[in-house]
């Protein structure tokens, strides 16, 4: 219902902006990575992931977390490797939506 | 009919109902104890619907009100309206709502039971309902139920308001619907319940107690709490007072102690506002079972028995019994455990046995840190130890490392609830940040649901907080062995069964959080639910691990405790909880003709128990009766030293056979 309400109120542009913010956050935010790991732990507890599948996700997320931290530490010394910033989204809709 | 466990509430309720039926009242006798023994007392099989009680003059029906069935019935009638309300009034979709409605609702069953009682009361079929209530702590909690029910109604009301706001915004108008009618009816029912419970002309409480200091102390507490809650207590029954008889150390001591206790109680009751009629009922040689015997008890309930005058009181006396042969009990395997639970019917002496066992364990294993925890909402651990206790683990001045704590479940639950409240708020804050949506109604629904304290959930939350300690590495735990004095059977069982129910809930809520995770992230709420589910999982594993957890059942001689012992054993099996020991408490009597007669009956019970424990492979320990009962650290420790082996000697195999 929240999604429905916001769609009614804000329109599609609004949602795309939010997606942009979300992608931005995903690239840069440690919180997003920790959330991803937490979600994987929850799926493991629910039996939706096997131990093996969880390990793969865990290794991947931890590596990305390290990357984010390295980048942040590096940002102080090298100006090129600063945070990414998503400034907008281009969307094109083609073909049958059910295909 | 209320009172501490084991005081004879059930028999008194049955006697009162039989007497009322004989006076011409169309009477319904209902037990709402989750571990009912009313059928045992009446010697008939009872079920969840009223059945006529044979061999009574007048009209008497009896039933065991099953809270779960009552809840199922209540929900079934309203399932459509509730589902629609949840669909329209929250962000949940049909799959979510169905998943949640398929789960059992801990605690709400008691509300449904109370509503069912209220419905029966309105039936023209009966004009008197006699209720055999659950033991004290849980009876008092019953008084909170209208408030809990109002909380559910308020949560539903928020969903309804949200739906209405959307409809009004889109269509400019509003027509009342089933959801609105449901919410209104729930508020009306809650008000009616409260009025019924507190309007003195419709409900009266008869409180039953024993002439023992611990029982009367609890009675005085309960009377004042009932009065504060607005309930009117008009009769106080002092049950099982020893009648006059020949000279005997045992009986004389008991009479002297009883006379003193009754005198003190009477003085305090007289000082209370209002008038409470006190009636003393004398002890029977055997439990009053069956309608004719109960009718005799009813006559005494009506007029009361004179309290026999006590002769001089010897300082103390120990019970004698041929069952007590002096053999020490087989060694227990408790010292290696992490969790040792003491359970049994109310009034059998669970607390005394748990305290004595904990003192002994701490003394024998000075390197192990032992925590003795009482979870019965009507605590008596402090009285038994002769020390004032509270929710902090207090070090006891004994050999070894022993602490004792009376769990304040409400306080623990409040802490847990605060964590969830913050997590939910931060989830809605994130929603507002990411989607610029202020989901005010949803936030309010979640707050109202969280504000509910369904009965039993607070106890589980509190215990979980304590047991979580075993998740830590051994060096970081504040104790190594937890000895738990549980609430009487029915409620202890629910507590033990609840981790499974709650884990289903935690998992269902985790699925919801994951489903809506792209919007708000799993956040703190996800982390809390994950921790809850893991904690409950570990608790279930712990309970079912015979190397880490043990269950000791405390019982007494008599048909009712024996029947309950067998039922408890059967219910523990599916939970995987290993019962290792049965303690038969208060064995032994004096030497007068009455005591010898009782001793013979006791021996028959012991022999049956020996056969049963032989078949089930349980250790049977006898704890001798003492007058006055063992209180205080020193006497408890000495009493623990007098526990004896009761198991029948194993038959030697003949050689060659």
Q: Model-level pTM?
A: 0.81
- The answer to whether A34 faces chain B, any CB pair under 8 Å, is no
A38 contacts in chain B (CB < 8 Å):
522, 526-527, 530
Q: Answer whether B521 sits within 8 Å of A5, measured CB to CB.
A: no
Distance set, CA B535 to CA A99, B166, B217, B376 (Å):
45, 39, 37, 22
Phi-psi region of B568 (alpha: psi -120 to 50; beta: other; left: phi over 0): alpha
Residues 136-165 of B with CB under 8 A from A: none
A21 contacts in chain B (CB < 8 Å):
434
Is the dihedral angle over the CA atoms B211, B212, B217, B218 positive or is it negative? Answer: negative
For residue A60, the SS3 value is helix
Lowest-confidence pick of B57-71, B256-270, B450-464, B567-581: B450-464
Lowest-confidence pick of B291-295, B456-460, B478-482: B456-460
pLDDT(B208) > 60: yes
Q: Answer whether B434 sits within 8 Å of A39, measured CB to CB.
A: no
Six-digit token string for B281? 């009922």
Q: Answer whether A1 sits within 8 Å of B90, measured CB to CB.
A: yes
- The answer to whether B166 faces chain A, any CB pair under 8 Å, is yes
Q: Answer whether A2 sits within 8 Å of B519, measured CB to CB.
A: yes
CA B471 remoteness from chain centre: 27
Choose between A82 and B249: higher pLDDT.
Answer: B249
Query: What is the pLDDT confidence band of residue A81, given thresholds at 50, 70 and 90?
Result: very low
Query: What is the pLDDT confidence band of residue B112, given thresholds at 50, 70 and 90?
Result: confident
Six-digit token string for B543? 């309970």
Q: Answer whether A45 sits within 8 Å of B534, measured CB to CB.
A: yes
Highest mean pLDDT (candidates A70-74, B145-149, B237-241, B406-410): B237-241
Q: Rounded distance, CA B368 to CA B468, Å?
A: 18
Q: Tell me what pLDDT residue B585 has.
A: 94
Q: Tell me what pLDDT residue B56 has.
A: 75
Distance set, CA B349 to CA A22, B85, B190, B277, B559 (Å):
61, 48, 37, 28, 17
Query: What is the pLDDT confidence band of residue B489, given thresholds at 50, 70 and 90?
Result: confident
B518 contacts in chain A (CB < 8 Å):
22
Q: Tell me what pLDDT residue B354 has.
A: 96
B520-541 mean pLDDT:
90
Q: Tell me what pLDDT residue B89 has.
A: 85
Q: For B336, list phi and psi in degrees, rounded to 5.
A: -90, -10
Q: Tell me what pLDDT residue B454 has.
A: 66
Tell me the nearest-neighbour CA distance from B185 into chain A, angstroms. 26
High-pLDDT (> 70) share of chain B, %: 95
Q: Tell me what pLDDT residue B309 has.
A: 60
Query: What is the pLDDT confidence band of residue B516, given thresholds at 50, 70 and 90?
Result: confident
Q: Rounded distance, CA B330 to CA B345, Å?
A: 24
Q: Tell me what pLDDT residue A17 has.
A: 67
Choose between A4 and B275: higher pLDDT.
Answer: B275
Q: Tell me what pLDDT residue B145 has.
A: 82
Six-digit token string for B364? 């024998």
HSE-CB of B446 using CA atoms within 13 angstroms: 21
Q: Rounded distance, CA B465 to CA B447, Å?
A: 22
Q: Tell me what pLDDT residue A80 has.
A: 43
pLDDT(B447) > 90: no
Q: Rounded distance, CA B152 to CA B112, Å?
A: 12
pLDDT(A94) > 60: no
Q: Tell me what pLDDT residue B100 has.
A: 83
Tell me the nearest-neighbour CA distance from B506 into chain A, angstroms. 10
Q: Which helix (H) or strand (E) holds B29?
A: strand B27-31
Mean pLDDT of chain B: 87
pLDDT in tens, B279-311: 999 998 888 999 999 999 998 888 777 766 665
pLDDT in tens, B394-411: 999 999 999 999 999 888
pLDDT(B632) > 90: yes
Q: Tell me what pLDDT residue A13 has.
A: 58
B17-35 mean pLDDT:
91
Q: Rounded distance, CA B86 to CA B84, Å?
A: 5
Whether residue B628 is preceded by a cis peptide bond, meaning omega within 30 degrees of 0, is yes
Tell me the nearest-neighbour CA distance from B422 into chain A, angstroms. 17
Q: Tell me what pLDDT residue A68 has.
A: 83
Q: Tell me what pLDDT residue B654 has.
A: 41
Query: What is the pLDDT confidence band of residue A28, given thresholds at 50, 70 and 90?
Result: low
- The answer to whether A7 faces chain B, any CB pair under 8 Å, is no
Q: Rounded distance, CA B91 to CA B159, Å?
A: 10
ipTM given for this complex: 0.75
B156-160 mean pLDDT:
90
Choose between A73 and A40: higher pLDDT.
Answer: A40
């Amino acid at each position: 219902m929240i999604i429905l309400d916001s769609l009614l109120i804000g329109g599609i542009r609004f949602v795309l902006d939010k997606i942009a913010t979300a992608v931005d956050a995903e690239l840069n935010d440690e919180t997003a990575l920790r959330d991803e790991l937490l979600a994987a732990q929850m799926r493991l507890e629910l039996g939706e992931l096997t131990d093996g599948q969880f390990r793969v996700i865990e290794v991947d997320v931890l590596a990305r977390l390290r990357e984010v931290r390295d980048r942040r530490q590096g940002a102080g010394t090298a100006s090129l490797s600063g945070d990414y910033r998503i400034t907008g989204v281009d969307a094109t809709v083609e073909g049958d939506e059910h295909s | 009919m209320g009172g501490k466990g084991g005081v004879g509430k059930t028999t008194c309720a049955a006697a009162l109902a039989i007497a009322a039926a004989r006076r011409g009242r169309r009477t319904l006798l209902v037990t709402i104890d989750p571990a009912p023994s009313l059928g045992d007392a009446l010697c008939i099989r009872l079920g969840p619907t009223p059945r006529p009680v044979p061999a009574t003059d007048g009209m008497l029906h009896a039933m065991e009100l099953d809270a779960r069935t009552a809840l199922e019935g209540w929900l079934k009638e309203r399932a459509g309206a509730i589902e629609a309300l949840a669909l329209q009034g929250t962000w949940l979709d049909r799959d979510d709502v169905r998943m949640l409605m398929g789960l059992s609702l801990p605690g709400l069953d008691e509300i449904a039971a109370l509503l069912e009682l209220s419905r029966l009361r309105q039936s023209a079929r009966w004009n008197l309902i006699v209720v055999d209530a659950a033991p004290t702590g849980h009876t008092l909690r019953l008084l909170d139920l209208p408030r809990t029910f109002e909380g559910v109604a308020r949560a539903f009301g928020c969903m309804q308001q949200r739906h209405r706001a959307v409809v009004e915004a889109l269509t400019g108008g509003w027509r009342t619907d089933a959801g609105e009618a449901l919410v209104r009816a729930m508020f009306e029912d809650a008000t009616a319940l409260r009025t019924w419970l507190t309007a003195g002309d419709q409900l009266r409480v008869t409180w039953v107690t024993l002439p023992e200091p611990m029982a009367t102390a609890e009675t005085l507490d309960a009377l004042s709490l009932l009065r504060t809650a607005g309930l009117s207590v008009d009769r106080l029954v002092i049950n099982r007072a020893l009648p006059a008889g020949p000279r005997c150390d045992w009986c004389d001591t008991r009479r002297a102690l009883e006379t003193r206790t009754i005198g003190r109680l009477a003085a305090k009751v007289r000082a209370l506002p209002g008038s409470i009629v006190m009636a003393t009922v004398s002890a029977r040689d055997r439990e009053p079972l069956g309608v004719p015997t109960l009718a005799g008890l009813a006559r005494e309930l009506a007029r009361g028995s004179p309290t026999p005058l006590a002769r001089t009181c010897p300082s103390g006396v120990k019970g004698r019994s041929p069952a007590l042969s002096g053999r020490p009990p087989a060694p227990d395997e408790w010292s290696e455990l992490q969790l040792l639970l003491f359970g049994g019917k109310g009034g059998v002496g669970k607390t005394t046995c748990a305290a004595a066992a904990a003192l002994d364990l701490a003394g024998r294993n000075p390197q192990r840190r032992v925590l003795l925890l009482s979870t019965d909402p009507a605590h008596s651990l402090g009285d038994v130890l002769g020390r004032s206790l509270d929710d902090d683990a207090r070090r006891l001045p004994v050999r070894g490392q022993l602490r004792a704590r009376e769990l304040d479940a409400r306080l623990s639950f409040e802490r847990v609830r605060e964590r969830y409240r913050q997590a939910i708020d931060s989830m809605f804050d994130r929603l507002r940040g990411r989607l610029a949506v202020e989901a005010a109604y949803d936030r309010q629904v979640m707050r109202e649901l969280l504000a509910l304290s369904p009965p039993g959930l607070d106890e589980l939350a509190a215990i979980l907080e304590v047991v979580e300690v075993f998740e830590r590495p051994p060096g970081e735990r504040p104790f190594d062995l937890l000895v738990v004095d549980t609430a009487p059977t029915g409620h202890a069982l629910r507590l033990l069964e609840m981790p499974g129910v709650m884990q289903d809930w935690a998992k269902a809520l985790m699925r919801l959080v994951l489903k809506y995770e792209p919007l708000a992230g799993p956040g703190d709420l996800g982390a809390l639910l994950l921790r809850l589910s893991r904690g409950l999982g570990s608790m279930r594993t712990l309970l079912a691990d015979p190397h880490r957890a043990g269950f000791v059942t405390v019982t007494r001689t008599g048909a009712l405790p024996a029947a309950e012992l067998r039922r408890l054993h059967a219910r523990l099996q599916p939970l995987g909880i290993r019962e290792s020991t049965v303690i038969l408490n208060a064995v032994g009597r004096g030497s007068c003709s009455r005591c010898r007669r009782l001793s013979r009956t006791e021996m028959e019970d012991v022999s049956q128990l020996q056969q049963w424990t032989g078949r089930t492979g349980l250790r049977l320990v006898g704890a001798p009766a003492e007058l006055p009962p063992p209180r205080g650290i020193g006497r408890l420790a000495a009493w623990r030293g007098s526990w004896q082996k009761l198991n029948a000697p194993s038959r030697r195999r003949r050689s060659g056979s």
